[in-house]
Amino acid sequence: MDAWLDFARGPAFRFALAVMVLGLLRHFALALLSVRAILRRAGDKTLPVTQIRKATLSWLFPVKKLGHHTLFAAASVLFHLGAIVAPLLLAAHVTLIEASTGLAWPALNPLAADILTLLAIGGLLVLFVVRIAKRAARDLSQRSDYGVLLLVLVPFVTGFLAAHPGLNPFPFTAVLLLHFLSADLLLFMFPFTKLVHVVLLPATQLVSEAAWRFDPDAGEKVAKALGKENQRI
Amino acid sequence: MDAGNSRVRTTKAVLWFIVGFAIIVGAARFLTGLGTVTNLTDRTPWGLWVGFDVLGGVALAAGGFVIAASVYILRREKFRPLLRPAILTAFLGYAAVAAGLLVDLGRPWNIWRPMFFWQHHSALFEVAWCVMLYLSVLALEFAPVPLESSRFHRLTKALKSASLPLVILGIMLSTLHQSSLGTLFLIAPARVHPLWYTPLLPLLFFISAVALGMAMVVVESKASAWLYRKRPEDHVLSSLLRPLGFTLLLYAGIRIGDLVARGEGAGLFDGSWESALFWLETGLSSLLPAASALSGLARRSGKALFATGLMVVSGFVLHRIDVGGVSGVGLTDSGYFPSLFEISLSLGVVSGAILLFLFFVERYRVYDPEPAPARRPAACRAPLAAARAYSSVFVAGAAIAFALLPGGAVFGAKPLDMPVTGARRVLAVEKTRENPPGKMLVFAARGAAEAREVLLVDGNRSGEYALFDHEAHMKRQGEKESCGICHHLNRPNDRESSCFECHRDAWQPTDIFRHGAHIEATGGNRGCTECHVTPAAPKTRAATRPCRECHEDMVATGKREFVAPPAADSPFHAPGYMDAMHGTCRKCHEEEDRTKGVKVPELALCSTCHPEAVDLSPRPAGRKD
């Protein structure tokens, strides 16, 4: 079992981390290149910067959306708060990173970490239920969307159980291994699933704003591609 | 150039994967040092990177000066279409050499020093200058190609008008450099096998470079034609076959004739692996391709032409690797074989050079443009499709490399594991020592009257032993009650545990705490709080209940505790064996010196305790160092 633990927190973790970091950087760079290509093609120098900023911020802090989708927006905010803060500032994680790299930063109070973890788990479950219960959300969802939610759930639940052995009905080492492996899989999946929004959120606003600016002669090109030049479309 | 065909895409994808892998290896090499990713040692300081990247790279770049000399000096205009790709290959070959050198040098940040600190007697000084100068000349020779489509028309014109002096300078420098790499090995006869070592090495390096230059032009031209599905230039390349064949015959004649003349001919057929390697290399590099080139076989078939060039290239690269190290493996008993990371970095440098070659070929007029064939318009491809595809294989290569890197390459180098074993009982006698003055124990001769049993302390069996009179120490310190002075910690259910049971590595601390065993012993999850008394706190060793509170008999009790018991927040890492031994013996003797005036001479001298501190590791007969 120790060999499996070493594998999960050694090579497997490094592989997943590298895929996540480089994969996300790749997505970000490609998004910027796409925007540049779009703008060049459109020949339009102006960008609706204000609209983009507003759209991005409105999703980062969806206060205004609380009126329409209260439960969804609240669960989303609480989940994101817990999911980002708890793993990064958990004392056990900080200690582990310091032991292997020498880098350290202040850690959360254990009680605060527990609360944030539970918020992340609770928020995630609400998001999952809302996605199933609401017809509009269900129609927009693919199978992978449910899968990603469940995948995010596993490391938080196993991490909480590992930190509280008294509440853990399963063998400690097995839970720890599952925690490592599920976290590895989660990191690995970042560039391949909708989790990629962590870097693409601002860029997608930019792309969608920019992409709707067509070439001045876009209509002629479409007609040519369809073989219907000089015809009425 | 049809850069969108499947051959180009597949080739580039493979190359980007290798480059991604190699970049991570290169980063690890620069961040954590050569030792973490290479199998290089003090005995084999020059490995694959020198043999393949540096020596092979220089040789592969010879096409530049060979074709330039043919066109500009010998006025063989039919070779002009080969000139630009040959110069580009040479430039990228030398850039690869510079990259290979930088990763191989122990202190690459000193690379600028030969420019300002001249050491006329150093062979490497000449090599360094040649690489720098010829790389600059090649850059200037090739610069007009990318510049001609830019707005720097005057600069382009000036460079083009300077091409003849540059070509002459290039020929001169590469003649110097190709041969001086051979000269470099003249100063290391003990490292080069007699079948490769000869005073004619500079000449052989130069002649083989000329042949290799021609062969490389053939290989590069045929490979480009295949890759871009364009018409091969077989009619021009075939003109190279006669001079290539005669150059190869000249090389093989000098090589074998020199060995026979110097009386080393018997080694050619002695059945050793070196003789087999010699024939493989010579057959591949010169004998077979010479036969193919001169018999007309290569002229009749495009595939045979490519195979001939490829044989020469691989044969002479093998020659450089052999001279650079492989032939000397038997002489130096190094047992060196390059690590996966050395191989990947070498391939990465080559892949990077090929990608740059393809970049220049696709973007600038390296090859003469062909009449465009009537083709249907290219299929519509998604924007940035190439960037998306190549960047994803790059990320895959980098991530796999990061996962495969050894721990030392990620978290910093650490000493090699060196497990230790217990002390042995041997017979010894006491004798008077002159320097430093005093008495010492030595191994007893067979049947020696005054022989007594002592401990031979040589935990890692390196030969650096100490003879320790355990009985005398016990008597002096107070018999059984004194054991705890040195045997300060008991393993569970043990008494006076031996040193090596906790100090398990010669140099590194050992983690002597077994978490898994404690989980089982305390009854699984419910038992966690027995040690982790504050469940909310991070479960570090410092925040855990001290071991002694449960293991009451763990700390040995005795007349006095010389080695301090583990503190409450002890990480339970037993120091390395050598530190533990030195720490205990020296500290105790210094204390006795201070308190009782019991003198032990010169504890700072190794020979006081290690009378025969010599390397007794196995050494095969015939080694010449």
Alpha helices in B563-611 (DSSP H): 577-596, 606-609
Continuous segment of H or E residues that includes residue B433: strand B424-433
Report the DSSP beta bridge partners of residue B455: B425, B468
Query: Mind telling me how many Å the CA of B407 is from chain A's nearest CA?
Result: 8
Burial (CB count <10 Å: 0-12, 13-18, 19+), residue B89: buried
Nearest to A23 among B395, B529, B532 (CB): B395
Exposure string over B318-336, b if 16+ CB within 10 A, otherwise e:
bbbbbbbbbbbbebbbbeb
ipTM of the complex: 0.83
Asked if B538's CB is within 8 angstroms of A91's CB, the reply is yes
What's the pLDDT score for residue B533? Answer: 82
Q: pLDDT grade, residue B352 (50/70/90)? A: very high
Q: Residue A172 above 90 pLDDT?
A: no
Could you report the per-residue pLDDT of B221-273, keeping only the tens digit for each?
999 999 988 888 888 888 899 999 999 999 999 999 999 999 988 888 988 88
Task: Inform me whether the pLDDT recorded for B619 exceeds 80.
Answer: no
Nearest-by-Cβ selection for B536 from A18, A30, A110? A110
Diameter of chain A by CA atoms? 77
Burial of B146 (0-12, 13-18, 19+ CB in 10 A): middle
Note the pLDDT of residue B621: 42
Q: Is A62 exposed, middle or buried (0-12, 13-18, 19+ CB in 10 A)?
A: middle
Classify B425 as helix, strand or coil.
Answer: strand
Torsion over CA: A173, A174, A177, A183 (sign): negative
Strand B452-457 vs strand B510-511: parallel, antiparallel, or unpaired? Answer: unpaired
Closest CA to B11 of B321, B428, B389: B389
Write down the pLDDT at residue B519.
84
Measured over the CA atoms of residue B160, residue B161, residue B162 and residue B166, the dihedral's sign is: positive
Report whether pLDDT(B625) > 80: no
| Tens digits of residue pLDDT in B416-471 | 889 999 999 999 998 887 777 778 888 888 888 889 999 999 888 877 889 999 99
Residue B536 at interface with chain A, using a CB cutoff of 8 Å: yes
pLDDT number for residue B188: 85
Residue B568 binned pLDDT confidence (cut-offs 50, 70, 90):
low
Structure confidence at residue A128 as a pLDDT band (50, 70, 90): very high
| Burial status of residue A152 (CB atoms within 10 A of its CB: 0-12, 13-18, 19 or more) | buried
Q: From the list B395, B524, B528, which residue is nearest A171 (CB)?
A: B524
Residue B616's pLDDT is: 44
The one-letter code for the residue type at B184 is L
> Which helix (H) or strand (E) covers residue B510, if one does?
strand B510-511
Sign of the C-alpha dihedral, residues B74, B80, B82, B85?
positive
| Closest in B384, B411, B526 to A100, CB measured | B411
CA distance B211 to B66: 9
A176-196: average pLDDT: 94
pLDDT value of position B617: 47
Chain A CB contacts of B536 under 8 Å are 110-111, 114
| Mean pLDDT rounded to a whole number for chain A | 85
pLDDT band, very low/low/confident/very high, at B124 (cuts 50, 70, 90): confident
Instruction: Report pLDDT for B403.
Output: 95
Whether A44 has a pLDDT exceeding 90, the answer reads no
Burial of A228 (0-12, 13-18, 19+ CB in 10 A): exposed
Answer yes or no: CATH 2.60.120.1130 is held by domain A2-34+47-212: no
Residue B489 bridge partners (DSSP): B555
Cβ pair A225:B380 closer than 8 A: yes
Numbered residues of chain A with Cβ closer than 8 Å to any chain B Cβ? 1-2, 10-12, 14-15, 17-19, 22-23, 26, 29-30, 33-34, 37, 91-92, 95, 100-101, 107, 110-111, 114, 164-166, 168-169, 171-173, 191, 225
Q: Which residue has the tokens 């010449």?
A: B624
**Residue A179 pLDDT exceeds 90:** yes
Instruction: Tell me how far apart the alpha carbons of residues B77 and B277 are, in angstroms, rounded to a whole number.
Output: 39
Q: Match domain B39-338 to its CATH number in 3.40.50.720, 1.10.3720.10, 1.20.1630.10, 3.50.50.60.
A: 1.20.1630.10
Contacts of A117 in chain B (CB under 8 A): none
The domain segmentation of chain B, as residue ranges, is 39-338, 424-609
The residue among B21, B23, B391 with the most chain A CBs within 10 A of its CB, best to mutate, is B391
pLDDT at A215 over 80: no
> Chain B residues with CB inside 8 Å of A19's CB?
395-396, 399
pLDDT band of residue B199 (cuts 50, 70, 90) is: very high
Chain A contact set for B392 (CB, 8 A): 26
Q: Say how far apart CA A233 and CA A231 lie, in whole Å.
A: 6
B398/A18 touch (CB, cutoff 8 Å), yes or no: yes
Contact A173 B524 (CB under 8 A): no
Restricting to B residues 131-160, those with a Cβ less than 8 Å away from any Cβ of A are none
Q: A110, A165 in Cβ contact below 8 A?
A: no
Cβ neighbours of B383 in A, within 8 Å: 34, 37
How confident is the model at residue B131, as a pLDDT? 87
Q: Which pLDDT value is given to residue B622? A: 40
Q: Which residues, including other chains, have CB under 8 Å from residue B596's CB and lie 6 or more apart?
A: none
Contact yes or no for B392/B22 (Cβ under 8 A): no
Q: Which residue has the higher pLDDT, B380 or B589?
A: B589
Contact call for A12 and B524, based on CB within 8 A:
no
Q: How confident is the model at residue A212 (pLDDT cuts 50, 70, 90)?
A: low
Residue B432 has φ and ψ, to the nearest 5°, of -85, 135
Q: Is the pLDDT of residue A67 over 80?
A: no
* Average of per-residue pLDDT across B338-349: 95
DSSP string, A99-157: HHHS-------HHHHHHHHHHHHHHHHHHHHHHHH-HHHHHH--HHHHHHHHHHHHHHH
- Give the pair of three-digit tokens for residue B605: 């001298």
Q: What are the CB-based long-range contacts (under 8 Å, 24+) for B380-388?
A: B380/A225, B381/B4, B383/A34, B383/A37, B384/A30, B384/A33, B384/A34, B384/A37, B386/B9, B386/B12, B387/A30, B387/A33, B388/A30
Identify all chain A residues contacting B396, using CB atoms and an 8 Å cutoff.
Answer: 19
Burial of A70 (0-12, 13-18, 19+ CB in 10 A): exposed
**CA distance to partner chain A, nearest, from residue B398 (Å):** 7
Q: Mean pLDDT in chain B?
A: 86
Looking at residue B565, its pLDDT comes to 64
Smallest CA-to-CA distance from A26 within A166, A192, A211, A229 is with A192
Chain A residues whose beta carbon lies within 8 Å of the beta carbon of residue B519: 172-173
**Mean pLDDT throughout B472-477?**
87
Per-residue pLDDT tens over the stretch A147-170: 999 999 999 999 999 888 888 889
Contacts of residue B493, defined as CB under 8 A and 6 or more positions apart, other chains included, come to: none
More confident residue, B584 or A63: B584
Q: Which of A1, A4, A15 to mutate to test the interface with B (most CBs of B within 10 A)?
A: A15
Average pLDDT over residues B61-82: 88
Mean pLDDT of B195-222: 93
Per-residue burial over B424-448, b = 16 or more CB atoms within 10 Å of its CB, e = otherwise: eeebbbbeebeeeeeebbebbeeee
Hey, what are B575's tokens? 């120091």
Q: Phi, psi (5° rounding) for residue B505? A: -125, 145
Question: Which pLDDT does position B527 carry in this prediction?
Answer: 83
Least confident of A72-86, B162-176, B510-524, B589-603: B589-603
